[in-house]
Chain A
């Protein structure tokens, strides 16, 4: 069992704060989708999603204050996903770059 002290009032306050932040970010991301920012639209949407995800992981899932091992492993999962994303994209974006089929 987690032996460290637990402050119930502070915890509930943190949960409610995170919830209102998540609501705010949801409104923001929907609003941002209707503004033409060019390629920045994706960047903004993903930046907001990552922020929301970090909030959920840190507070709701108690990643903050938990074992550093959990952070290490979840980072390795994200790293693995990034590898899986990076190489097929490298492949896709540099295909036929010389104008010769298959080169």
Chain B
């Protein structure tokens, strides 16, 4: 009991207030993330509306198999993250550590595939700083790849941060920092990771799946 009391910061009345404040704060933070990605997504929508045909053609340079594979990997990591929070809630320490490791592995697989895709685009000359593609309407195709790299790069940066946070969570788990009464950091990490998954759920059809028929 004394251990629990020490986790209550002086300015909160009780633990419920502290927990509510933390989760609500995380949701407000996710709102700022919506607007952060929103600025780029708006850029995407404006250019796709302006150059629909070019964007469709440019999108066919992306590898749909790798994109689908990555989608599955990331949704899987969301499941393992949900299970991690679940284990924390039941105070199953080993399961929590295991699911955290699994989530980190799946996240790294995603990033590995992504970097392979990036390297491939570099060799094809479809990288904004290294652009020598000379197919039809190359100028506007380049615009697609600018937006593609900005969006996926920002998403990847969020994943790297997420994996870093999970490493901290893993360390705290192994040091027995959490119990069924206090696992707020794991819960917040979960919210963040699911949000990163949510962003990809939109990026995948927007970037990879434009008019694949035809």
Q: Which chain A residues have a beta carbon within 8 Å of chain B's beta carbons? A: 1-3, 6, 8, 11-12, 15-16, 18-19, 22-23, 26, 29-30, 33-36, 41, 45-46, 48-49, 52-53, 56-57, 59-61, 66-67, 69-70, 73-74, 76-78, 80-81, 84-85, 88-89, 92-93
Contact = CB atoms under 8 A, between A and B. Distances in A.
B35 A81 contact: yes
Contacts of A18: 79
A46 B41 CA distance: 13
> 9 tightest A-B contacts by CB?
A77-B31, A33-B209, A45-B205, A81-B38, A77-B34, A33-B212, A36-B213, A70-B27, A19-B79
Interface string B175-195: 000000110000000110011
B86 A35 contact: no
Contact of A56 (B27, B39, B76, B201): B201
A33 B34 CA distance: 26
* Of B16, B31, B71, most A-chain CB atoms within 10 Å: B31
B46 to A, nearest CB: 6
B68 interface: yes
Contacts of B118: none
Interface string B24-68: 100110111011001101100110011000000000000010001
B15 A93 contact: no
Contact of B39 (A34, A52, A84): A84
A59 B64 CA distance: 28
B110 to A, nearest CB: 14
B78 interface: yes
24 contacts: A1-B182, A2-B19, A8-B86, A16-B79, A19-B76, A19-B79, A22-B75, A23-B75, A26-B75, A46-B205, A52-B201, A53-B198, A56-B78, A61-B191, A67-B20, A69-B24, A70-B24, A74-B27, A77-B34, A78-B34, A80-B34, A80-B38, A85-B38, A92-B46
Contacts of B86: 8, 11-12, 15
A1 B19 contact: yes
Contact of B201 (A35, A41, A53): A53
Contacts of A57: 194, 198
